[in-house]
Amino acid sequence: MKILDLIASRNYAEESEVRAMPMVLRIERVDPPSRTALLEAAAASAVAVCLDPRADVDGEWHEAVRAWVAGRIRKVSRRARGVQWDAVQELPGVTVTVDGASVRSLLPVLVSETPREVAKLQISGSDLPVDEPGPVPEGARLLYVNPRVEMSAGKLAAQVGHASMLLAPYLSAVELKAWADLDYRCAVRTPSVAEWDSLIHRGDVVAVRDAGFTEVEPGTTTVLAV
């Protein structure tokens, strides 16, 4: 079955083995990236792995992506700098850079088989100060963050990665091609509470509801994709 079809159905079976997509956020000690740019890179890189030709039915990544998407689409964000960042570039995945912020989303693996280069990276310490984003780039897909919920940048990187993936099956082939030509550009924005309450009741949004393993309560709607 095609990856987009699996994402669209989301009728996953109970997992016997836990799989996750490692997401590596480049956060250097000197001159760290902006929070918004890092989140936008995370959203783009996650969906880029799923829509990469290597994830197609006959591709070398297909079985790994298929097995992961058939379960819960867990993602684990870790931070890297310097030689740590260089090391993960050798692992299968896709790196996206937005306004100087880079994220590499890796091929999903069994959590028990997380590559050594990734397992030794820190999960904590990935937070960044809130910044004021600029105008929405032309062609970018809008991802709205729940203004009522506080999340670290690492947690939110996974959430916007879920959102970009869940949005993809709703786009036409023409829309997907145009999005791919823009390297799956996303715009992550935090609306006002009133705007969020209006958006969540619209029929043309895709909602990410968190399983509640970390930071937020189970069932919390974290991100809306338009």
- pLDDT beyond 60 at 207: yes
Burial class (CB in 10 A: 0-12, 13-18, 19+), 161: buried
- pLDDT beyond 60 at 72: yes
Report angle CA 126, 132, 134 to the nearest 5 degrees: 115
**Cα–chain center distance at 48:** 9
Name the average pLDDT for the chain: 93
Dist CA 142 CA 158 (whole Å) = 16
Q: Which amino acid is at 137?
A: P
The percentage of residues in the chain with a pLDDT greater than 70, rounded to a whole number, is 96
Query: Which tens digit of pLDDT belongs to each residue from 161-197?
Result: 999 999 999 999 999 999 999 999 999 999 999 999 9
Identify the pLDDT of residue 1: 64
Question: In terms of Cα–Cα distance, which of 62, 40, 50 is closest to 159?
Answer: 40
- CATH architecture of the domain formed by 19-125+155-185: 3-Layer(aba) Sandwich (3.40)
According to the 3-state scheme, what is the secondary structure of the chain?
CCHHHHHHHCCCCCCCCCEEEEEEEECCCCCCCCHHHHHHHHHHHHHHHHHCHHHCCCCCCHHHHHHHHCCCCCEEEEEECCHHHHHHCCCCEEEEEECCEEEEEECCEEHHHCCHHHHCCECCCCCCCCCCCCCCCCCCEEEEECCCCCCCHHHHHHHHHHHHHHHHHHCCHHHHHHHHHCCCCEEEECCCHHHHHHHCCCCCCEEEECCCCCCCCCCCEEEEEC
Q: Which token pair is 72?
A: 């819960």
92-96: average pLDDT: 98
- Under the banding of pLDDT at 50, 70 and 90, the label for residue 216 is confident
- pLDDT beyond 70 at 11: no
Dist CA 11 CA 45 (whole Å) = 24
67-89: average pLDDT: 94
Q: Which sequence spans correspond to the domains of the chain?
A: 19-125+155-185
Identify the pLDDT of residue 217: 85
84-106: average pLDDT: 98
Burial class (CB in 10 A: 0-12, 13-18, 19+), 40: buried
95-106: average pLDDT: 98
Identify the pLDDT of residue 10: 65
Report angle CA 122, 164, 139 to the nearest 5 degrees: 120
